[in-house]
Homo-oligomer: A and B are copies of this chain.
């Protein structure tokens, strides 16, 4: 098992493996070291504590999960479509994980419970992406004039039901798809620029109506 030099990367990979095999409660630093054929003292040369190792593993996992979302954020489809796709992708990523391998999902949920800081950063990243899409929608005239950051948070909050791991126990229900679609419709309607608002308009130059129609 002692292939090359001991690097943080090799330790991370081994840790992920051990975690997958043993579960979150039982995986020990000694196990990880053993998997690498080294003493557990060596692991502490690269990670300050078990918590630090745990955080690093979690970060890798979250990063992997976020990759498709980044792509959607940067896509060229219309902002409303992008928003729909992004939220659907977030939901499906979690849903597939929890339905596909409940144990592993539970493992990572357990990790996450003790890694508030990492989760905080993660959520911040997600909301920044949402805000980007919302801002694009305002610019294109598809969305009302709203505060992108605050609205991003509202959208994230509103969809928690479908992506927050603590609610995973509801995700196997048959009505879930319909409920999610219903919610998306409600949110997008709330976000849409009023076609011809009779009366009060936000006090902003309304020169940015929807200009181009892009393929969805």
Partner of A150, one of B150, B153, B182: B182
Q: Are B157 and A161 in contact (CB under 8 A)?
A: yes
Q: Are B186 and A190 in contact (CB under 8 A)?
A: yes
The answer to the question of A167 belonging to the interface, with a C-beta cut-off of 8 Å to chain B, is yes
- Min CB distance, A89 to chain B, in Å? 18
With A167-B160, A190-B187 given, is the CB distance from A179 to B195 under 8 Å? no
Partner of A154, one of B153, B167, B182, B197: B182
The answer to the question of A183 belonging to the interface, with a C-beta cut-off of 8 Å to chain B, is yes
Nearest B residue (CB) for A176: B157
> Interface digits, A173-200 against B, CB 8 Å rule (1 contact, 0 not)?
0000011001101111111001111110
The answer to the question of A166 belonging to the interface, with a C-beta cut-off of 8 Å to chain B, is yes
Interface size for chain A: under 10, 10 to 19, 20 to 34, or 35 or more residues? 20 to 34
- Min CB distance, A199 to chain B, in Å? 7
For A11, what are the chain B residues with a Cβ–Cβ distance below 8 Å? none
- Min CB distance, A41 to chain B, in Å? 36
Partner of A153, one of B158, B166, B182, B187: B182
- Min CB distance, A80 to chain B, in Å? 13
The answer to the question of A18 belonging to the interface, with a C-beta cut-off of 8 Å to chain B, is no
Q: Are A183 and B161 in contact (CB under 8 A)?
A: no
Which residues from chain A sit less than 8 Å from chain B, CB to CB? Answer: 144, 150-151, 153-155, 157-162, 164, 166-167, 178-179, 182-183, 185-191, 194-199
Closest 4 CB pairs of A and B: A190-B190, A195-B198, A158-B158, A189-B190
What would be 25 A-B contacts, judged by CB atoms less than 8 Å apart? A150-B178, A151-B182, A151-B186, A153-B182, A154-B179, A154-B182, A154-B183, A157-B161, A158-B159, A158-B187, A160-B160, A161-B161, A161-B164, A164-B166, A164-B167, A166-B166, A166-B167, A186-B191, A187-B187, A189-B189, A190-B191, A194-B194, A195-B197, A195-B198, A195-B199
